[in-house]
Structure 1
Amino acid sequence: MRLWGLAHAVDDLYQGLVPAVVPYFVLDRGYGYVAAGGLTLAATLGSSVPQPAIGMAVDRMRLGRLPAAGLALAGIGLGLSGLAHSYAAVWALVLLSGLGVAMFHPSAGKAAREAAGDSTAAMSVFAAGGSVGFFLAPVLATPALAAWGVRSTLLFMPPALLMAYVLLRGRHRQRALAAARAAQVRNGADRWPPFLVLTAVEVVRSVVFFGVSTFVELYWLRDLHASHALAGTALACFLGGGVAGTLGGGRLADRIGMVRTVQLGTALAVPALAGLCLAPGRLVPLLFAVLTGAALNLPFAVLVKLGQDYLPTRPGTAAGVTLGLAVSAGGLVAPLLGLVADAHGPQGVLAVLCGVPVAGLALGAFLVEPGQEAGPSSPV
């Protein structure tokens, strides 16, 4: 699981690099905001839309080399984007990088589940890797981009190629264990109704996560009148809390159950967001930034494993939806949140987001533990 967690961190590093690199394309190449938004759209289209289809292919065919191939493509596409001259070439390379991310998630999610067996805590190691990669991306990229501009994207190609090589080398050793675990995991019939409810819960979580990660720095800058350094610290606190929440959620689910963990994390997000929005000063809200990140990510690994439990014969499809499509769906709401910010500022966005988890709580009441009869479960 450490290997898959590390591979997930490297893969999602390239997702996190896109928002870090786009401003430097604006500065170095003179791209307008529409062109910059087009690059973000290319990354989103490549990484989210194909994942369910790739997941179905993973469930039907033996595609053991797909995680390594996806990692390599993600690194090559992003790495070469800074060297391309025409906008069309840059757009295509960013799209290819996103496609590499999409190739990784369903196949790696299936393999990680087979390695984890029935342990949610073990699965949380894989899920937390993605949070770590997204967290590290701006930390690693900003100094290089500031010093050498967009051409420094080439420096970020080696981690993907190295990790792809490691996965290929270790693939044969894991086959026997994976086959044995897969036989245990793939028992029972697929249950689509609770899986669709779970997907809706993940979309709600994604909306809040994208909203906070997009506007939390602006909140510190424009509403709290803080420095750029403190605003960056706020984003780091939020993302760091997410890593802790992902790991903690897996361990908690092994103790109290997966559904209750999802319900608890969703419930805790409401007071955490309220504190982030209303806490006085510039330093106290940092605590609530950590708590918000932790609460939102408490159900993350649990949702991935629970989705695979609902679809035991389609673990790749389940991972493709929960790790890809549903997670990225929150980004589609960003333009609407931007309209709220134009009218009421970043604090207005955070105020609106305080009410969004309520929809997740309502949906979470209809989740059931695998093996139980369908019907509303007791909310936390």
Structure 2
Amino acid sequence: MRRNTSISLLAVGHACVDIYQGAVAALIPFFVAERDYTYAVASGIVLAASLLSSVAQPVFGALTDRWAMPWLLPVSTLLGGVGIALSGLSGSYGLTLIFVAVSGIGVAAYHPESARVARLAGEGGHSAMAWFSLGGNIGFALAPLMVSAVIGHGSLRWTPVLVLPALVGAALCVPVLRMLARPEAGTSRTEAPRGTDDVASFVKLSLAVVFRSIVFIGLSTFISLHAQQRMQGSATAGTIALFLLFLGGAVGSVLGGALANRYDRVRVSRWAYLLSVAAVTGVIHAPGPAMFPFVALTSVGLYVPFSLQITLGQDYLPSRVGTAGGVTLGLTVSVGGLVSPLLGHLADSVSLETALTPLIAMPALSWLLFRALPEPTAPEPRAAVPAPASARQDA
């Protein structure tokens, strides 16, 4: 019961944080409409959220490998929310970039430590990590709906309302950290044995996740505008497309955890990336409303490997699970934002459809890398051992 409660609360907290990753993409059409930004200028906002996050993520991962820093969870959640809340208050492009970058740092600080805590709470199980990842996917999915509800009938001046999920997420972290800090009565916790690091496999895995990041962030940045072009300028079509792209991740994460319990993680991930090649092709080139089923299929295909890649990374680097979580859950997710300005420049020069076409190759490259990966054997966690008799008497 305690384990399930901890994972549930962590999943909801993860949703509250990843709302702010999804909110950046969801705000792009409003920045374009309200401030007349070009594709390239608008994609610079995604770059701002990603750039500092990409730099900060491995730093926080290395720090959490050395010291447990559970206080980062509520603090980083608040930082992520405050940055987005302030992003629409100034007409200055420079200040907008700064505020979005602050939010990106908050998200960067959250993920390595949260992955470590989730692994501890879930005792290394694939399903537990899948449910934790599901929370983040739901946060992504809710972001366009929340942004549309808050900003769609007003203006960017309403962004301070978007801080509310951060307040909820920070509050939910507190009981989880208290539960994990309190050992079960009559038992004492011991560290799980650590295996040998497989750095070569971890590097290949990281590259695969980078390619996944490029296609997912590229689509999330421009799919609203792409759908609007397909549907004669319908803003609702853009919101629906982004919602489907994020919502399908909820299905994909749970499905990935279930499949990994029956088949190995590497095989399941290979299947998912192969499916994603066809799905992304449909998103970019299918006419009119026919694109929507492909959006949902793309989301499922890209998210089936998502939680599996986190546990794979931690098993490839068992002595540095914080770094592994920071890379697979955070750093390589934000790297895709570094490519968005290039797609924006290309879209300004030719067309948005042409600019998005190279994204079809990204899941194919991930599939090729997964063909070279072994399925690691995770170290079995030691069972809790009885506490010393003196400790039981003192209790």
Q: Structure 1 length normalisation: TM-score?
A: 0.87
1:253-281 CA distances to partner (integer Å, 9 max, x unpaired)? 121011111111111112223343454x5
| Contact 1:5 1:127 survives alignment (8 Å) | yes
**Matched ranges for 1:264-343 at <5 A:** 264-277=271-284, 279=286, 281-342=287-348
**Matched ranges for 1:180-191 at <5 A:** 183-184=191-192, 186-191=193-198
Q: Structure 1 residues 354-363 or 212-221, which shifts more?
A: 212-221
SS in 2 for 1:355: helix
| Contact 1:115 1:177 survives alignment (8 Å) | no
Pick from 92, 100, 104 the counterpart of residue 98 of structure 1.
104
Q: Which amino acid aligns with 2:172?
A: V
Note the C-alpha offset of 1:96: 2.1
| Contact 1:39 1:91 survives alignment (8 Å) | yes
Match of 2:74 in 1: 68
Q: Structure 1 residues 337-346 or 283-292, which shifts more?
A: 337-346
Residues in 1 aligned to 2:42 and 2:297: alpha-carbon distance in whole angstroms:
32
| Contact 1:226 1:282 survives alignment (8 Å) | no
Q: Which amino acid aligns with 1:196?
A: V
Pick from 141, 147, 152 the counterpart of residue 146 of structure 1.
152
Residues in 2 aligned to 1:195 and 1:60: alpha-carbon distance in whole angstroms:
20
Cα distance change on mapping 1:77 and 1:235 into 2, 3 Å: closer
Q: Is 1:244 paired with 2:251?
A: yes
1:183-222 CA distances to partner (integer Å, 9 max, x unpaired)? 23x5212221110000001011111212332343344343
Q: Is 1:18 paired with 2:24?
A: yes
SS in 2 for 1:10: helix
| Contact 2:315 2:377 survives alignment (8 Å) | no
Unaligned runs of 5+ in 2: 1-6, 379-395
Match of 1:42 in 2: 48
| Contact 1:11 1:101 survives alignment (8 Å) | yes
| Contact 1:215 1:349 survives alignment (8 Å) | no
Match of 1:58 in 2: 64
Q: Which amino acid aligns with 2:130?
A: S
Q: Relative contact order (C-alpha < 8 Å, sep 6+): which is higher?
A: 2
Q: Structure 1 residues 253-262 or 353-362, which shifts more?
A: 353-362
Q: Which amino acid aligns with 1:257?
A: D
| Contact 1:117 1:181 survives alignment (8 Å) | no
Unaligned runs of 5+ in 1: 373-380
Q: Which amino acid aligns with 2:354?
A: G
SS in 2 for 1:368: coil
Residues in 2 aligned to 1:333 and 1:83: alpha-carbon distance in whole angstroms:
26
Note the C-alpha offset of 1:69: 0.9
Pick from 176, 183, 187 the counterpart of residue 170 of structure 1.
176
Pick from 196, 202, 209 the counterpart of residue 202 of structure 1.
209
Cα distance change on mapping 1:230 and 1:197 into 2, 3 Å: same
Match of 1:216 in 2: 223
Q: Is 1:348 paired with 2:354?
A: yes
1:18-61 CA distances to partner (integer Å, 9 max, x unpaired)? 23345555666787877655543332223222011101101101
Note the C-alpha offset of 1:349: 4.2
Q: Structure 1 residues 238-247 or 249-258, which shifts more?
A: 238-247
1:315-343 CA distances to partner (integer Å, 9 max, x unpaired)? 11111111221111122222333455456
Match of 1:121 in 2: 127
Q: Which amino acid aligns with 2:9?
A: L
| Contact 2:230 2:288 survives alignment (8 Å) | no
Cα distance change on mapping 1:204 and 1:85 into 2, 3 Å: closer
SS in 1 for 2:236: helix
Note the C-alpha offset of 1:365: 1.3
Cα distance change on mapping 1:174 and 1:282 into 2, 3 Å: same
Q: Which amino acid aligns with 1:354?
A: I
| Contact 2:47 2:341 survives alignment (8 Å) | no
| Contact 1:223 1:347 survives alignment (8 Å) | no
Cα distance change on mapping 1:180 and 1:344 into 2, 3 Å: farther
Q: Structure 2 length normalisation: TM-score?
A: 0.84
Residues in 2 aligned to 1:126 and 1:259: alpha-carbon distance in whole angstroms:
20
| Contact 2:213 2:334 survives alignment (8 Å) | yes
User: How many corresponding residue pairs?
Assistant: 370
Q: Structure 1 residues 292-301 or 153-162, which shifts more?
A: 153-162
SS in 2 for 1:369: coil
Residues in 1 aligned to 2:224 and 2:36: alpha-carbon distance in whole angstroms:
24
Residues in 2 aligned to 1:221 and 1:90: alpha-carbon distance in whole angstroms:
24
Match of 2:113 in 1: 107
Residues in 2 aligned to 1:34 and 1:213: alpha-carbon distance in whole angstroms:
15
